[in-house]
Each structure stands twice: as structure tokens, then as C-alpha cells.
Amino acid sequence: MGRRSRGRRLQRQQQQQRPEGAEDGARGGGKRNDAGWEGGYPEIVKENKLFEHFYQELKIVPEGEWDQFMEALREPLPATLRITGYKSHAKEILHCLKNKYFKELEDLEVDGQKVEVPQPLSWYPEELAWHTNLSRKILRKSPQLEKFHQFLVSETESGNISRQEAVSMVPPLLLSAQPHHKILDMCAAPGSKTAQLIEMLHADMNVPFPEGFVIANDVDNKRCYLLVHQAKRLSSPCIMVVNHDASSIPRLRVDVNGRKEILFYDRILCDVPCSGDGTMRKNIDVWKKWSPSHSLQLHGLQLRIATRGAEQLVEGGRMVYSTCSLNPVEDEAVIASLLEKSEGALELADVSSELPGLKWMPGLTHWKVMTKDGHWFAEWDEVPHSRHTQIRPTMFPPKDPEKLQAMHLERCLRILPHHQNTGGFFVAVLVKKSSMPWNKRPPKLQRDTAEPREPVQPSPAGPSELDGKPVTGMGDTEVAERTEDLENNGNKKDGVCGPPPSKKMKLFGFKEDPFVFIPEDDPLFSPIQKFYALDPSFPRRNLLTRTTEGKKRQLYMVSKELRNVLLNNSERMKVINTGIKVWCRNNSGEEFDCAFRLAQEGIYTLYPFINSRIITVPLEDVKILLTQENPFFRKLSSETYSQAKDMAKGSIVLKYEPDPTKPDTLQCPIVLCGWRGKASIRTFVPKNERFHYLRMMGLEVLAEKKKDGTVLTNESAASSEPPEDEGGAHQAAEQAASPDASTGSDLSDPAGAAPPR
């Protein structure tokens, strides 16, 4: 029996054994009946005496606020959402939310509870983040909120909205990332913070390729694919997902004017794994499972990850360390230890004025350590030898009062749940003033001396790995010699970035296809360039595919900076995904002048370089194109027809330009991929993206007919005119003339939703 068959059989057995109605509906796919929702599982008692004793003793909550603190922890976490900031239609989504969906929530009651109209988070810029008193559970199960919930789900899939916990939005904001910054997200999955960072890169939508990039890493191979899904919603050519242990993430190199230089990041987000006791409001299992021993077990890993991040930060760069834990062993203890070992290379930044409106408590300067059986230790000297493996000296505050004062631990931010109805959180912002002390000495050369090397964090690609070659410069300005490493000599194909060999790095998880850049003399590109009249400035060297053999079916695009990273680090880095899809091969491509059609995923990146096959369409035509599968020319305006009639069959760009003299109409530009057939035009746009554009035009999607791909809206439903029957033979001929007809695709881009594999 095959692996898949065994898996299916096991799944069926588990479903049969599971109590009725106990399916997990958290992702919106499952449903719970009343019995499963109310009585499927025993109610978890939201009490933990050890937890209360621990935090009361540490005095993290201001005097007189303990009851409010505990009461807030026992309440469900309110739903929060964030509008994707860099999209040109963020203002339109905000307008739609305020004037339609939020108004419908006024005077609404659900289960006897009055629904409060969502309010903007006071500290989030430009009213792009909102919170409501509705819990996620009520949002999912209430019939009155079904339309609002569908809107949230659909817009989330399109990448226009992120449902993200309020406190989770804080670290990227404090990172203050700019479009030219090189950013590392060390523990990125599931990816909501990564999405914020990508938005910051694309602050100016007129720049298709920002100079900066985000490298998003996670140690868990499966969670990396969740990260890919999040990043793909934002369609950026400046994101790379990699799979490494953050505590030993490789030091990368880039080519700078022919020299191989170590890559240092301008911004690093270090959102480390933690015990998560700040998430009790949504992860109620924590009430039952909480123990101080979890923090003791994680402290060492958290410190190693933070240290590795500090090593890879450029001088003058900023690193944000954050946890969803309130325990100082995971918070201030890690920061104090990192500051102490940095010997002045790092300092805590004062960010008290950077997010006006956010309420937070200053970091602790004194704390104690407790074991799982309730024993307290105020300093390292009190810890018996038998507990030295469990409790380490780095878990305690520094003894020297002057050293402690110089650290300014009060600059750390601890966010408490009852202050602004959020989860619990800890954030510290570090600035690098100089090289880390162990990087200030030149690395020892193996051939010249038998002495042990300096105590550098172990890294598969650290500066000390440049065997037998002297390294010019000192510390963080090390520059590797131009000579390639032995690993790259002789057996590496130009432009091919494959997975690292198993001897160099243990492979785990799925085996990824290689990333192969299209050679400049590849005959594949010339017809594409001619067909779409691509601008001479188009960066063709940044085109890649995921196969070394056979026909290239999909073409992807990365920024030139990520191309540099990919080409110079294929032997030391496990890349899960990068690039956005810009072209797909037609099944019958040879019949047309160009074998590749445009992909909606990458159209906003590609559009500035396209000078041909563009049709400007009025708003009414956009509605028709998005609600009907293959509208004939006579259904469209004369303006659209006059542009399309002399065009050859094939892929086209449909562009809507807003009319500033009509402020009541849609005021953001729209770019869609389409196909000019023999007598009709169709769009290739993913379903949720179509629904998004229709909503922005004031139409509510009521249903979708699977058979003919027609979308029923409130406008079409109100119309008394029956749908036209165009005649089967003519319609069938049109279908056959369009690309990928054999796949039975609907209006969606058939290959638009899946990440490149």
C-alpha cells in the first residue's frame, strides 16, 4: 500500500473516532454543530494558581490593577484586522469598510451582546488597523455577521486585509523599515509580521523593484509553506523564504563590484519562540499547561537566536527582539545578557515616542527565577549545583548596579492585556553601535597556526570558513577574496541555484526545485519582448524558472538584489520560495505570436515595462469583464472595441484609470490580465481578487454559477433583463481559441494561486 493510501486510511479512521461536530473550523472550512460547539470538549477552567503567584511576586502589573489584568486574560481576544498599506487601493478598502460593512454593524446584537462598531487602533498609522469587541468564534458562527465574515475571508485571501493580533503589529512598526533596507525575519512563520515588512518595502507603488528585500526564515519546513502562502498574497519580487535554524542561520555573501562581501542586514526582526503566556486569551490550553519551567527551557535558545541576529546586523542597524510572553526570563534576562556580552556594541533604543497612543509598561530591572515546584532564586549564587543545568546565570539581572543602570532596561516595552484589550507582549529595540567583540579580531587561518579559533558562534558560512584565504578588513567589514570557494569550483552551472548538497547541509522536508535564471541569449525571451514591446529598461536578467530540463512552463521575477543573494549562496542556503510569477506558457502557445501569457500575480510589477497590448477600459466594462466569462465585443463599449479590434489574438493588459472629476466612482487604478479572442475578451483573475474589485465598485457578490462562470451581483440580480444566450457553437469556438481551454478553468488564473514548485 502506498504512502498516500495509508495516509487516507488513517485519516478516515481518525474521523470515525472523532466526536461528532468536533471538526476544527478555525480556518473557515469546518463546521461545528451545536452539540460539538458546546459539549464536544470539557470547558477549560481559566485558573492557574502558580501563574498568579508567579506574576504577583514579580509585580509586573501596577498596584491595584491585578483584578483587571486577570479579568482581561479570561475574556476572549477581540478580532483585529489590518488593511494592507502598500496597495494603491488601501484607501478604497478603508472607505468600503467604513461606509458599508461597519455601518451594517450599528445597533446589531449577537447572542444578547451588543456589537460595538469597530474602532481604529489609536497607535497604528493612517487608520489602517481596526479592532472590534467581536471574538473570532462569534464572527465565524453568527448568521448576522456572515456577510462581514465572508468579506474578511475573501479580502484576506486577496492580500488586501490581514487578520492579525494587535500586539503582533508592534514589532514591524518599531523596526522602522525603509524601501532600501535589507531585512531579515529570523523566526517568520506564520508570516503576518513578514507581510507588514513587505508592505514597508513597497511604500512607493510607483517603484516596482525597491532596493531592499526581506529574507524570511523559519526552522520548521512545513511552517515555511504557510509563510510562502502569506507572502504570495502580496505579490512582491523582493521576498525570499528560507529554512534554517535561526540560532545558526548562515552568514550570506553578495557580489559588490566583483568582490564577495559578507551580507549584513539593516533591519532584523527577532520574534523568538516563547512559552506564549501572553496568548492565553486565544490559546486557552496555556491556562492548564503553564509552568515557569517552559521559560527556563527556552531561555538559552532565545539568547542564541538574538546573538546570531546581532552578529548579522550592520553597524547603525536596528534589531527588534519580541516575545508573546510576559516572563522576564524570556524577556529582560535575554536582553540584559545580550547587552552584557556585546560590551557596548549594542544599546537599547528609546522608542517611547515612536508609537503615540500605545500603552505599555517599562521593562523590569529586578526579577527572580522560579522553578516549576515554586522555589525562588534571587541570584545565581543561591542556585544549588544540582539545578545548574536547568537554571543558568544569564537568567538573572546583572549584580553591578552601575552596569544595570547603563543598560536602561526600562526602555523595553511590556504590553499588558487589560490596558488596551489586547494580548500580552514584550518588545525591545536594539541599535548596533559597533562590531560585536568576538568579531573585532581577525579570524585565525587554519594553515598558519594550530591555535584554536576565536569563540565565534558556530555557522556553516561564517567568516572563519574561508579556508586558506586571508580575509581583508577587520570585524564586520570582512570582505572575502574574489576567488570562489572550493565548493563552487568546476561543478556549478551558471545561473542555477539548486538545493545544497546533503554533505554540506542535512536536507529535510520537501526537496525544492532549483532556481534557474534565464540566460540573456536564451531564444525564449525574444518573442516575449517583441509581443509585449517591453521597455529596454526591463531587467531580463532577473527572470528565472524552476526547471533545468524540458519546456519552461512558468517564468518568475526577482529583484536584482535577491538575484545577487541567490547566485552567491546556493551552497549554504535552503531556499523554499522566491520570486513572483509574471508569465505562464499557453497550452497551445505556438498558435499565437507569443507562447507566454501574462499572469495576474505579477502584473503590477510587470505593467510599467509593457508598451503594447494595453486596452484602457471604462468602469462599466470592468464590471462586465469581471462578472461574465467571455463577453462578446458587442457587450463592451465602443471605446474598448476600437482598441481591441485590430489586435492579434493573445494575452492583453486591461487598464482602468480613475476619473478625478467623478469622485463617487472608484478612485484607484486597476490592472488586469486578459485574453483577446476571436470575437470576445476574457479576464484571467483569481476569484477572490475579482470579488475584491467588484466590492470596490460598490457591487456585492451574491453567487457564482460554476457552469458558465457568471458572477451574480446585487446589481445584476436587480436587473430584470434575462441573460443573453449567445449560441453554443459560437461560444464553444471562443472557448477553444482561448488559452488553457482544456483545463476547464473559470475566470480565475488557473495557475495563479499555487506557489511555484
Active site residues: 324
If we measure between CA atoms, which residue out of 600, 604, 744 comes closest to residue 669? Answer: 604
Q: Is 738 annotated as a binding residue?
A: no
Residue ranges of alpha helices (H) inside 247-380 are 285-289, 292-311, 332-342
The Cα 596–Cα 589 span in angstroms is: 7
Contact 256, 250 (CB under 8 A): no
Q: How many residues does the chain have?
A: 757
Nine-digit cell at 429? 529595540
Write the single-letter amino acid at 507.
L
User: Which residues fall within 8 angstroms of residue 658, CB to CB, at 6 or more apart?
Assistant: 665, 666, 667, 668, 669
The Cα 131–Cα 618 span in angstroms is: 36
Contact 274, 323 (CB under 8 A): yes
The C-alpha cell 541555484 sits at 497
Q: Is 245 annotated as a binding residue?
A: yes
The Cα 636–Cα 659 span in angstroms is: 19
Q: Is 189 annotated as a binding residue?
A: yes
Q: Is 187 annotated as a binding residue?
A: yes
Cα 749 to its chain centre, rounded Å, is 22
Q: Look at phi and psi of residue 191 and say left if phi exceeds 0, alpha if psi is from -120 to 50, else beta.
A: left
Burial class, 633, CB count within 10 angstroms (exposed 0-12 / middle 13-18 / buried 19+): middle
Q: Is 188 annotated as a binding residue?
A: yes
The SS3 assignment for 558 reads coil
The Cα 471–Cα 253 span in angstroms is: 13
If we measure between CA atoms, which residue out of 245, 91, 238 comes closest to residue 177? Answer: 238
The SS3 assignment for 253 reads strand
If we measure between CA atoms, which residue out of 560, 597, 567, 595 comes closest to residue 581? Answer: 597
Distances from the Cα of 751 to the Cα of 239, 588, 599, 691, angstroms = 20, 16, 8, 18
Burial class, 502, CB count within 10 angstroms (exposed 0-12 / middle 13-18 / buried 19+): exposed
The Cα 295–Cα 367 span in angstroms is: 14
Q: Nearest 10 degrees: CA dihedral of 99, 101, 104, 110?
A: -150
Q: Is 218 annotated as a binding residue?
A: yes
The SS3 assignment for 552 reads coil
The Cα 89–Cα 339 span in angstroms is: 43
The Cα 206–Cα 188 span in angstroms is: 27
Distance linking the first and last C-alpha atoms of the chain:
26
Nine-digit cell at 226? 504557510
Q: Is 224 annotated as a binding residue?
A: no
The Cα 322–Cα 87 span in angstroms is: 27
Burial class, 434, CB count within 10 angstroms (exposed 0-12 / middle 13-18 / buried 19+): middle
Contact 694, 711 (CB under 8 A): yes
The C-alpha cell 474598448 sits at 640
Nine-digit cell at 190? 506564520
If we measure between CA atoms, which residue out of 601, 487, 499, 597 comes closest to residue 548? Answer: 499
Q: Is 746 annotated as a binding residue?
A: no
- DSSP structural state of residue 101: I
- DSSP structural state of residue 513: P
If we measure between CA atoms, which residue out of 642, 636, 649, 638 comes closest to residue 677? Answer: 649
- Give the annotated binding-site residues for S-adenosyl-L-methionine: 187-193, 218, 245, 271
- Give the annotated binding-site residues: 187-193, 218, 245, 271
